């Protein structure tokens, strides 16, 4: 039987600590979470964990150092033993191969959990298998809490809430514009995109569609653009629909809407685009996105593409990427009879000095802090397979405290 939360050895355990995202998450913990935090770095290689521990000690010599736990995620007894020592578990392992084991262990051992999975079919099957059990065991699982999905979910939620607060109007559409994101993937991300799915074909089929993860079904979610794939939205400007993340982000945002009982409005839907300067620029973006998509899904070109991408465990130079910027905006269009965008609408904006992987480290570590020190959820929810926006204002305030600029207003 798992010990009570207050009797556990660790506040946080970080599984997959030896990976690219794991390192950035561990560094964020050292730099920003309380020095009294009792935590452990968990992995299957003692050598890698020792090297990481030395690095973390140099970064934060005056804090409680993380314990080292050598664990094979595939060994159920070892995994259960470490997970039941913790109040919160952060998982940044390769989800397509071993992610499910960690979810199971957390649900069965009463440990709250966060991940940054981006695969909808995997998530669909985890929700099918674990949402109700997690509710019964009072375990909160915050999924997709990385730079690809969490900002989108938070922005849609904040913009819709702002609109409702100021005007009592429902939102018909949350439109998200990706203004700045550099696509330089880590080896783990490349591996996840290129590996064959371990989810069975029937589940993959069931997981398709914009509302597959939502407990409530919504309206058909088409993406309105002109014949060039471009659309103008008031307050966001010219937008092109070449986003890679649309299907994934939309499924997460729609799950939040469903978990909150459809509180943004009955006709709500989420759309996502990239900000462009001109129609020609939009067409060029769509074309380059299409060609990259073909290269990544066409077997004969894969070995060539792989030569230019980082290997597992590796990734872009973090000294360089921390100089990049992430910037996203969203408008919540009011569900009224007025022409699109006229009248009052909700608006939210997130910006961050750094790349998507540093931001992911911040989102995971601050999400863990929110679960650990506050554990209050939107919509009166208490447990289950949840989404980043369900962590609400406490999460936003913590992110603001570590350099994430986030504002919401009426436009």
Ligand X SMILES: NC(=O)c1ccc[n+]([C@@H]2O[C@H](COP(=O)([O-])OP(=O)(O)OC[C@H]3O[C@@H](n4cnc5c(N)ncnc54)[C@H](OP(=O)(O)O)[C@@H]3O)[C@@H](O)[C@H]2O)c1
Q: How far is the CB of 142 from ligand X (least distance, A)?
A: 12
Assess 97 for contact with ligand X (CB under 6 A): yes
Question: Contact with ligand X (CB under 6 A): which of 18, 177, 212, 241?
Answer: 18
CB of 97 to ligand X, least distance (A): 6
Interface with ligand X, residue 22, by CB under 6 A? yes
Separation in Å, CA 46 to CA 9, 12, 42, 69, 314: 20, 19, 9, 8, 18
Interface segment toward ligand X; rule CB under 6 A; list 79-87, 129-137, 171-179, 186-194? 186-194
Pick from 12, 21, 141, 333: which binds ligand X (CB under 6 A)?
21
Return the structure tokens found at 175.
């439109």
Residues 321 to 360 in contact with ligand X, rule: CB under 6 A? 357, 360
**Chain position carrying tokens 């699982």:** 141
Q: Which 233-252 positions form the footprint of ligand X (CB under 6 A)? A: none
Stretch in the footprint of ligand X (CB under 6 A) among 43-51, 252-260, 329-337, 390-398: 43-51
Tokens representing 112? 């709250």
Q: d(Cα 236, Cα 240) in Å, to the nearest integer?
A: 11
Report, in Å, the least distance between residue 235 CB and ligand X.
26
Measured CA to CA in angstroms, residue 368 lies from 25, 336, 399 at distances of 11, 39, 12
Under the criterion CB under 6 A, does residue 43 sit at the interface with ligand X? yes
Apex CA 132: angle with CA 130 and CA 137, to 5°?
Answer: 90
Does residue 377 touch ligand X according to CB under 6 A? no
Among 13, 16, 113, 122, binds ligand X (CB under 6 A): 16
Residue whose token pair is 């965008």: 341
109 binds ligand X (CB under 6 A): no
Distance of CA 357 to the CA centre of its chain: 11
SS3 155: helix
Positions 57 through 86 that interact with ligand X (CB under 6 A): 72-74
Secondary structure of residue 240 in the 3-state scheme: strand
118 binds ligand X (CB under 6 A): yes
Phi and psi at 256, nearest 5°, equal: -60, -45
Give the CB-side neighbour count of residue 32, counting CA atoms within 13 A.
Answer: 23
Binding range to ligand X, per CB under 6 A, among 125-133, 141-149, 211-219, 379-387: 141-149
Told to check if 192 binds ligand X by CB under 6 A, we report yes
Q: Is 95 in the site for ligand X (CB under 6 A)?
A: yes
Q: Provide the sign of the torsion angle of the four alpha carbons 100, 103, 105, 107, taken in this order.
A: negative
Which of 40, 103, 123, 147 is the binder for ligand X (CB under 6 A)?
147
Question: How many Cα atoms within 13 Å fall on the side-chain side of residue 44?
Answer: 9
Interface with ligand X (CB under 6 A): 16, 18-22, 43-45, 48, 72-74, 92-95, 97-98, 116, 118, 146-149, 186-189, 192, 312-313, 315, 357, 360
């Amino acid at each position: 039987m798992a010990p009570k939360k207050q009797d556990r050895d660790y506040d946080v355990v970080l599984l997959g600590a030896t990976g690219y995202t794991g390192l950035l998450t561990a560094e964020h913990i050292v730099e920003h979470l309380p020095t009294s935090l009792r935590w452990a770095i968990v992995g299957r290689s003692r050598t890698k964990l020792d090297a990481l521990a030395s690095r973390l000690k140099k970064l934060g010599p005056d804090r409680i150092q993380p314990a080292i736990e050598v664990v094979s995620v595939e060994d159920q007894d070892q995994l259960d033993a470490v997970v039941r020592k913790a109040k919160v578990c952060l998982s940044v392992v390769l989800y397509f191969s071993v992610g499910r084991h960690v979810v199971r262990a957390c649900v069965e051992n009463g440990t709250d959990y966060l991940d940054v999975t981006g695969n909808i079919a995997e998530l669909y099957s985890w929700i099918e298998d674990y949402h109700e059990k997690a509710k019964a065991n009072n375990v909160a699982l915050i999924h997709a809490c990385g730079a690809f999905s969490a900002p989108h979910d938070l922005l849609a939620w904040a913009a819709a809430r702002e609109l409702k607060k100021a005007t009592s109007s429902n939102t018909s559409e949350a439109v998200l514009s990706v203004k700045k994101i550099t696509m330089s993937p880590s080896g783990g991300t490349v591996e996840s995109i290129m590996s064959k799915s371990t989810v069975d074909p029937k589940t993959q089929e069931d997981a398709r569609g914009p509302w597959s993860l939502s407990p409530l079904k919504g309206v058909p979610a088409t993406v309105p653009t002109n014949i060039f794939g471009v659309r103008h939205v008031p307050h966001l400007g010219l937008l092109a629909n070449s986003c890679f993340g649309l299907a994934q982000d939309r499924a997460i945002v729609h799950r939040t809407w469903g978990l909150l009982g459809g509180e943004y409005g009955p006709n709500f839907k989420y759309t996502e685009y990239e900000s462009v300067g001109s129609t020609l620029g939009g067409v060029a973006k769509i074309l380059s996105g299409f060609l990259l998509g073909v290269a990544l899904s066409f077997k004969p070109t894969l070995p060539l593409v792989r030569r230019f991408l980082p290997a597992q465990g590796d990734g872009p130079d973090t000294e360089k990427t921390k100089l990049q910027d992430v910037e996203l905006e969203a408008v919540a269009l009011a569900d009224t009879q007025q022409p699109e965008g006229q009248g009052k609408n909700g608006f939210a904006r997130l910006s961050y000095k750094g790349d998507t992987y540093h931001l992911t480290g911040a989102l995971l570590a601050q999400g863990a802090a929110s679960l650990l020190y506050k554990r209050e959820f939107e919509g009166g929810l208490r447990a289950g397979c949840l989404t980043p926006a369900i962590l609400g204002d406490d999460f936003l305030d913590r992110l603001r405290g570590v350099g994430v600029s986030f504002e919401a207003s009426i436009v």
